[in-house]
Structure 1
Amino acid sequence: MLRTSIHEDVVCVEIVLNRQGRESSVYVYLTDGMLVDTGPQNVLSEMISFYEQNTFESVVLTHSHEDHVGTASWIEQNLEVSVYIHPYGMTICSEQAAYPLYRQVAWGVREPFNAKPLTDTFHSRSTSWKVIYTPGHADDHVVLLHEETGRLLCGDLYLTAKPKVLLSFESIPQQMNSLRLVLDYSFESIYCGHAGYIASGKNMLRQKLDYLENLSGEIIHLHQRGWSAAEINDRLFEPNHLLTKVSDGEFDTMHIVTSVLRGLAPKEG
């Protein structure tokens, strides 16, 4: 199901997925002839209807995860529209998707497509967007900033102010660095890939950074007292997180602990 709303000249397309009675959302944004992200493959038919009713000249992908690029192949094959992504994501997108079964069930299996490389600036019809490289959630993650209007299209940089679980390949230190980098710019509202439009978005990003810094401090403090990663995890987080079971451990609170400690290791060496 698609729900649409408009904020600050941005069409916000909420893709609502219902899994065993629980709703989750993914967002696609359209502004000034630029489509940002394309949603998962398993809502292709609904997205085709949206594409046929709206015009755009370019597609910018915030990163290569399947819930953001799932219908890009259809766009490439059926519309005369170029798709752009950070250079690190180009090869990933051109190859057959390789991700665990639970994610294939959740989002569908996206088809390969060809994307062009983003540079530091992207021009939509009449707007110049600053492209900021923000790794941590994905190696090819970017956000799009229009400082004149204070809008930040932020992909999965935000998600939630207090993350309680992490993917095995994510990096807490990188996420904190990306948040610090972005917070130095002038903006107020954010358009998140899963939380949607947040008018006070800069404040929420700051809250997330504060949370991650405090959490990292606790982890490092316990580590310096001789606690193991498992002991720290048991101390700070609730056990048996549902997502950990469903994902066979790809999502886990333990990844938060080990990510922070990996970031600490070079300093100790």
Structure 2
Amino acid sequence: MNIAVTGEGIISAIGFNKQEVLQSLTTKQSGIGMMKHLQSVHRELPVGEVDLSNEQMKEMAGIPVSQMMSRTALMGIIAVRQALTDAGISVDDILARKKKGESLRIALVSGTTVGGMDITELCFDHIEEDDNVSFLQHHDCGSCTNTMADYFGFFTEVTTLSTACSSAANAIMFGARLLKDHQADIVIAGGTESLSRFHLNGFNSLMILDHERCRPFDATRAGLNLGEGAAFVVLESDETANERGVKPHAYLTGYGNACDAFHQTASSEDGEGAYLAMKEALDMAHLSPKEI
């Protein structure tokens, strides 16, 4: 089975949709800057922040401003909406078909590291209030995915994966497997994550955050910059895409995963885990390293 990518959606520090992101990339625009929305004691640290408030994103998605929702779920909703539109999938049409019992099996697979931690942290800001535990209901990683699924109302399967930085990549791989195992007709897969104090405090304790823009591979490199955003793709078989009359943007021909148990936060010096994962992806796609 050929896995086609028929829709793409993204919101990030360098653009609120894929056209803006591409424009920023081709014109070498950086999204790294000082914090505007996240409240942290480490405000001197540069981050890649989506320059929209939660209220602005709720307005974009048609969500009541008074409704409590994690920033992670909000960005995910916006990115999924874009991906569905890009793939020519109408939410109203799917819901109408669902009422008639004709709905497609559409799965949502979302990757995230800490889910609604941004809401959980508000519990401590209201520690003396009796109802402060209400902030904890969004803590579970799956809560964000469920919130996204409830917003759209037509997903037949909802899955959350949390494997740190590889969460979204694993979500896409899992989505492809759902299609190949005929467990779904269409899969929306990707990841979403908002910045939180937990992120900054954790990475700062590891002493790997740069106080300037990061400089990968540079002799003066001093660490990384944290960021936030969401990106999702629509995956479906060639057959389903042809039936819907849509032209794929690309094909997912190979992917790989490997377990590197060298250290809790560090990769092995010989790169064995990364090598095995890349080799698996190349082998599946029938490619050699020289062809990359």
TM-score, structure 2 as length reference: 0.28
Q: Choose between structure 1 and 2: higher strand proportion.
A: 1
Tell which has more relative contact order, 1 or 2 (C-alpha 8 A, sep 6+): 2
Whichever of the two has the greater Rg, that structure is 2
